[in-house]
Amino acid sequence: HLKPTEIQRFQRTSRQSAVVVVHTVDKMVASMWRISGAVNRAFGRAGYPLLLSLRRGQASVSYAQSLLGAPETRLTTLSNGLRIASEETNQATCTVGLWIGCGSRYESEKNNGAGFFLEHMAFKGTKKHPQSALEKAVESMGAHLSAYTSREHTAYYMKTLAKDLPKAVELLAEVVQSSSLSEADIEQQRNVVLRELEEVQGSLQDVCLDLLHATAFQGTPLGHSVLGPSANARTLTRNDLVEYISSHYKAPRMVLATAGGVNHDELVALAKQHFSGISFEYEGDAVPVLSPCRFTGSEIRMRDDALPLAHIAIAVEGAGAANPDIVPLMVANSIIGSYDITFGGGKHLSSRLARLAAELNLCHSFQAFHSSYNDTGLLGIYFVTDKHKIEDMMHWAQNAWMNLCTTVTESDVARAKNALKASLVGQLNGTTPVCDDIGRHILNYGRRIPLAEWDARIEGVTPRIVRDVCSKYIYDKCPAVSAVGPIEQLPDYNRMRSAMYWLRF
Amino acid sequence: MMSLPARLGALSPYLQACGPLKALLPRAVNTEVLMKPAVCGHFGARLAHTDIKIPDFSDYRRIEVLDAEKSSQESSNARRTFSYLVTGSTAVVGVYAAKTVVTQFVSSMSASADVLALSKIEIKLSDIPEGKNMTFKWRGKPLFVRHRTEKEIAAEQNVDLSELRDPQHDRDRVTNPTWVIVIGVCTHLGCVPIANAGEYGGYYCPCHGSHYDASGRIRKGPAPLNLEVPYYEFPDEDTVIVG
């Protein structure tokens, strides 16, 4: 245990005096302090400054504190149904944005791509601020204005100084409610959208995963890509965009989320001022209800032997966002993990599949993923590999799945839980990720799930639970497979289907 | 399942044929306008991945998964069980059929019907009067069928086994005591004994003087063993099938 003289030195030189990491690292810290103390004293006598500060065993904030110390996310609902959520931290900057519960899943075959097109049109000027005025307003604040569209969510957000919050909220309100959508801009943006479609063909990861959704959810709206087909990009009219806005940009489906140095009450007042006008009624009372989307075990092969590497994704139907099974599934994905050929761990990597990939040169990269939507999801593995290694990589990837369903061990799960907790905490490193987290959580769950709750849920996962949940979703199920590139070696679908179970008993 | 050759640009070398043709036309014609739409058509365009339309496979779907707005998870167990049952029973039936075909081919190499016919003999017992012995040719050897009288049966059953060279009780040599069926080959050196001859009321082999009794057992003479009793059965009162 620490001697009194060493404790004094500890408290004098540590930057945050409130923290003394006593429980697990004290012995190590104590020995390090004795060594560093001795060395420092030696150097001090020789006239050298305190060079060797061996304080690496000491964290600035302990994990337990980071969980409980996070400020509460406050949630208010306006009379028209708009929800306002904010997490206040003492920072000079903030991210404020509108998260809307609409995306390509709400589009039909005819207007698939409208949301994406609208995202392009969003910053082309509003009724009060034509494009140059809008740009000037944003630039003069030194703010960043961005947007993204996904299958179930659309977001418009701004990263700015906390003191510029009123102006930011005003601009966002205008962008969402009174975008000018001029015909000239629409025509100009058509080419931009088509160029972007062309460019995305070069990003084979996006192509592969889009095709995976297209085949897995064939015949359903979840199969639509966010970008939409090129024909729609050429033919969408202003009317289509206006209709899209009027059917989906409704207050109950919107969340005004903020993170950073923002006061919740101030935000609510601003929201009342700018967002009260958003309607909550639908034309003809036709409230769009999300119907379930059928998953089809199937495959799509886009063979092109001129490409250097094959991009392949295999997935089974996963759990919806609000399903309690997502926690064991996240742990399961953590067990498989991810890998890139540039990883230095080699045969000492913790994930078994990664070790095999490194030793047998199976792939250039792989990652286990779980995309969850409202009521369904895709749980899968995506990998990029050389054309001669496809069969082996697919075999070992499915083998990893089978191990999850049958032989996952206590140490696997313990390691995965730690990695998952670390990544959840580590991802919230800034006002923008936090704001995004808030927006998506309110849309998916109706509340922000705090880190402490994630931690508790993750802690409750045992190997038996991982095995049971994985068996429920993976074992002997028909997968959806999508492959792009030189994929001659990809096994026949029946063989991949047979690898989804083991001949046990 | 869908396969798609993605790079239609691969076809472009074949379209270079547009070029040489130009020279064949008379100079006065404006070739620019002619060539492009006629031959090169759509091949210059490249598909975006979002333009790929997954075909509608409804014609091949099972009823439970026809509705795109219904989750396929609920019916997945039932569908899978059905598939496995069909596969399993087909496998069982297939294995049985294979086994049948193989045994049929393999057993075709065994003895044919005419050969098998020769191996058995069916004898009508009412043709043989009491006390008489009839000889039949069976598997190339003489077969003795003897209809014994009550006196003979009693005598043979009362014989003391210690007297016999090859001790066997009469009941161990016959199924029905009325009928004695033995192979008529002397166990000494293979001659055919004469029926109703010899000192023991049975058979006498003239070659070297072996005497057999009414049960076919050796009593006197050089033969070491009793006459061989073949396998026979009585399908009914009047017939015996030997072999």
**What pLDDT is recorded for position A53?**
52
Q: Which residues, including other chains, have CB under 8 Å from residue A226's CB and lie 6 or more apart?
A: A103, A104, A113, A115, A116, A149, A150, A151
**What pLDDT is recorded for position B140?**
85
Backbone angles phi, psi at A368, to 5 degrees: -90, 135
**Is the confidence at residue B18, as pLDDT, over 50?**
no
pLDDT in tens, chain A (505 residues): 444 433 333 333 333 333 333 333 444 444 454 554 555 455 444 444 444 555 555 667 788 887 888 899 999 999 999 999 999 998 999 999 999 999 999 999 999 999 999 999 999 989 999 999 999 999 999 999 999 999 999 999 999 999 999 999 999 999 999 998 999 999 999 999 999 999 999 999 999 999 999 999 999 999 999 999 999 999 999 999 999 999 999 999 999 999 999 999 999 999 999 999 888 888 777 777 889 999 999 999 999 999 999 999 999 999 999 999 999 999 999 999 999 999 999 889 999 999 999 999 999 999 999 999 999 999 999 999 999 999 999 999 999 999 999 999 999 999 999 999 999 999 999 999 999 999 999 999 999 999 999 999 999 999 999 999 999 999 999 999 999 999 999 999 999 999 999 998 6
Choose the closest CB to B56 out of A219, A294, A376.
Answer: A219
Query: Average model confidence (pLDDT) for chain B?
Result: 82
**What pLDDT is recorded for position A44?**
46
**What pLDDT is recorded for position A47?**
46
Chain-chain contact of B4 with A294 (C-beta, under 8 angstroms): no
**What pLDDT is recorded for position B2?**
54
Closest listed residue to residue A297, CA positions, set B40, B83, B189: B83
**How close A471 gets to chain B, by Cα (Å)?**
13
**Is the confidence at residue B62, as pLDDT, over 90?**
yes
**What pLDDT is recorded for position A288?**
79
Contacts of A225 in chain B (CB under 8 A): 49-50
d(C-alpha A468, C-alpha A462), whole Å: 10
**What pLDDT is recorded for position A135?**
93
Tokens 């560093």, residue located: A36
DSSP state letter for B191: P
Chain-chain contact of A219 with B68 (C-beta, under 8 angstroms): yes
B66 to chain A: closest CA residue: A294
ipTM of predicted complex: 0.77
Interface test with B, best of A111, A215, A218 (most B CBs within 10 A): A218
Chain-chain contact of B72 with A218 (C-beta, under 8 angstroms): no
Is B130 in contact with B190 (CB distance < 8 Å)?
A: no
**Is the confidence at residue B40, as pLDDT, over 70?**
no
**What pLDDT is recorded for position A20?**
34
Is A370 in contact with A330 (CB distance < 8 Å)?
A: yes
Chain-chain contact of B10 with A306 (C-beta, under 8 angstroms): yes
In order of A301, A320, A382, A383, B208, the CA distances from A314 in angstroms are: 12, 18, 7, 9, 92
Q: In which band, very low, low, confident or very high, does the pLDDT at B201 lie, cut at 50, 70 and 90?
A: confident
Is A124 in contact with A106 (CB distance < 8 Å)?
A: no
Per DSSP, helices labelled H in B148-198 are 150-157
Q: Please indicate if any CB of chain A lies within 8 Å of the CB of B70.
A: yes
Tens of pLDDT, residue by residue over B162-184, are: 888 889 898 888 999 899 999 99
Tokens 């739409």, residue located: B37
Helix axes A26-46, A4-13, angle to 10 degrees: 80
In order of A92, A142, A429, the CA distances from A160 in angstroms are: 9, 7, 16
Least confident among A59-63, A499-503, B60-64, B148-152: A59-63
